[in-house]
Amino acid sequence: MKKSKIRVIAIYGGHAMLAVIAIAIVFMVIFAKRINRTIREDVTADIANELKYCAEAYSRMLYGNASATDFMRDFVVSGEATEEDLIKSLRAIKQTTDCYQVMYVTKDLTAYDYESVKYDLSSVEYAGIFGSAERGFYYTSNDGLKNSEALIIYNPIIDGSGSAVAYVIEFMDINGVVEDLSSTISYGYSFYAIMDSNNEIVTIVGRDQSSEFLLEDLADSIDENMDKGNPSWSVLVDSYIAKGIQKVVHISSANEGRYVINAPVKNAKWNIIAFVSDSYVEYEREQSTAPVRVLMIENGLIVSLVMAVYIVIMIIIFMHTRETKKELEGKAETDLLTGLNNKLTTELKIAEYIRDNPDGQGVFLLIDVDNFKKVNDTMGHAFGDEVLRTLGVKLRSLYRSTDIIGRIGGDEFIVFLRDVKDVTFIVREAKKLETFFEDFKVGEYVKYTVTASLGAAVYSMDGNSFEELYKNADSALYEAKHKGKKQLAFYNANQKDFLKTNAQ
């Protein structure tokens, strides 16, 4: 396969590879954004599921405690139960549940506990719950016993008509509830709240007093920081939390954004609401995406290496192409035998000088080696080539680098002297060439004397184009050969006399 084809394949193949790499980078960026968003959603979904599991477990525990009173219904409604039987039943409930107090309450709100201690509950904070025929779970800030917060499990004993004839109430330590939740829910949840069946926040756990989310202004804080597109706290409560529907929303607080996630404790109609910090979600996301990041970094390094190799290859190809182009341009402009300008380049350069210097002055010297056919016939074509090659070297050494020197075919050469200032210079430079041929010899062992005839025309006296100058210099060359060769002749005799006169 030719080098040019290899370069074309390398260039287009490299461009295709670069396009593939660019597409891969775009897809990697899109993938990174999507996976970050997806994993962030997965983290909050995992938290929601964990919270839901915790709420369901707690719901079963509460309902189990409440169900412990079901066995009392039949003998209470039958009217056969004695006070002693009731106390034994209360004592059994106390031993099998997590309650710190169990009471039997009559319709007039007289109560006694499992130790036969009597109480009057008519004026307690939670007296309003009595009379309901439905089991319920209530929060009270004062249990009327220890003056402490409590979770009250309310169990009405219903007769055949559906009316409550008595009540069994169980008291659970709200702090114990909190501790149970704290041991179940991950520490990463910055804090969480417990909401009772009346949609009132009972307590907030896991936050310090410097937090903007305090019990007394929780709703206001959430409404103030709720992200656009999310419902207000009241709508969130009424439309989702109160209906036992789990919902995940985000708020941007002054200190740090948080995800608000609720989990209904269904049997109790309570809710656990977690406030998960952005930093925790980001930490979980970082842990989850670590392998992906490593893979992307490795892919990025591979892509970078491939791009580096591609760039190096393109630089090498570019440099090689540039050198090849220079080489080809040089060959296109150069006579391969002598190293001088070829015919086309010589003509173009002289024409360019004439175009760019309409008021300039130059000398057009046409050189023709005398009897060159005889040299080839007697000495051989190889020696003839050596004559031409040696002549090219000598001509370059005779004149300035700015002068135009070329071989225009066979044994014919042109020397164009640029920017000639005066007649003296014209005569001196032309004479220098004539003198050179008086002692020009070629050959390593046998020296062969080579002479040449010279015709000269002056720009712009003798012509304003390459064609005119060549024609007139050729006419002068013909005159030199006609007079015996190996001499210099200017375009016309009058001019020659004029030059000689002014040069003396």
d(CA 442, CA 451): 11
What is the secondary structure of 97-120 as a DSSP string?
Answer: SS-SEEEEE-TTSEEEETT--EEE
> For residue 357, what are the CA distances in angstroms to 310, 361, 404?
47, 8, 15
The residues facing 488 across adjacent strands are 454
- Asked if the bond preceding 279 is cis, omega within 30° of 0, the reply is no
Name which of 415, 391, 411 is nearest 402 in CA terms.
Answer: 415
CB crowding 406-428: b at 16 or more within 10 Å, else e: bbbeebbbbbbbbebeebeebbe
451, 434 in Cβ contact below 8 A? Answer: no
Taking every pair of Cα atoms in the chain, the longest distance, rounded to a whole number of angstroms, is 164
Residue 343 token pair:
């015919």
440, amino acid identity: F
> For residue 244, what are the CA distances in angstroms to 56, 72, 223, 237?
12, 30, 21, 10
194, 202 in Cβ contact below 8 A? Answer: yes
Distance of CA 331 to the CA centre of its chain: 47
Query: What residues have CB less than 8 Å from 289, skipping those under 6 apart?
Result: 35, 36, 39
CB atoms within 10 A of CB 157: 21
For 258, counting Cβ atoms within 10 Å of its Cβ (0-12 exposed, 13-18 middle, 19+ buried), the class is buried
Say which of 98, 411, 462, 474 is annotated catalytic: 411
Task: Report H helices in 254-368.
Answer: 278-333, 343-356
Annotated catalytic residue 98: no
The conformational region for residue 147 under phi > 0 = left, psi -120 to 50 = alpha, else beta, is left
212, 189 in Cβ contact below 8 A? Answer: no
d(CA 210, CA 219): 17
Catalytic residue positions, numbered: 411
